[in-house]
Chain A
């Protein structure tokens, strides 16, 4: 069964770039028509979908973050990554990666355990 695991620095300084990686195990990131997403949860708040990358490499980013986001794929490592530029305290959150299916099966399953990122000097 497919499992996802996030990794990355827990602390990022304001104005810098937040970089996270999601490692996929139990299946190839390149097989099947899956969408690979990033989702975040700021402290005390709800879930916010950040964006996805399709196995072909095409992407869609949430317009609320679009100007600062890049999601990329590394099929050789079975990973996908998130870069978020010019971070502020508002980007402090628990970041999750998750998989969605195809043909309108766009619910998220499975999810990673999440990685906490704090933006602070």
Chain B
């Protein structure tokens, strides 16, 4: 059974204080690992897809990395507008069309 565990559950940072969110996964062949951002009361918004170990992608203050067992979302010098819940999801290979989502990390950035 595919599993995705995100840590920490919640994270409070001061503006400018860099940190990382973790997504550990167990999957029978990885087709893709996704990061989404979700603001309160809204649907998840796509950030990145990573396909293979060693891959990195960046967008503004966010950088996602991938190993064979986990992915990190690094947030550099965060701003209050980066406050949101960050979701990680994996899509297994082998024909399954059901992605597995983690429970998310709630990030609050204080000014």
Chain B binds chain A: no
Q: Which residues of B contact A (CB under 8 A)?
A: none
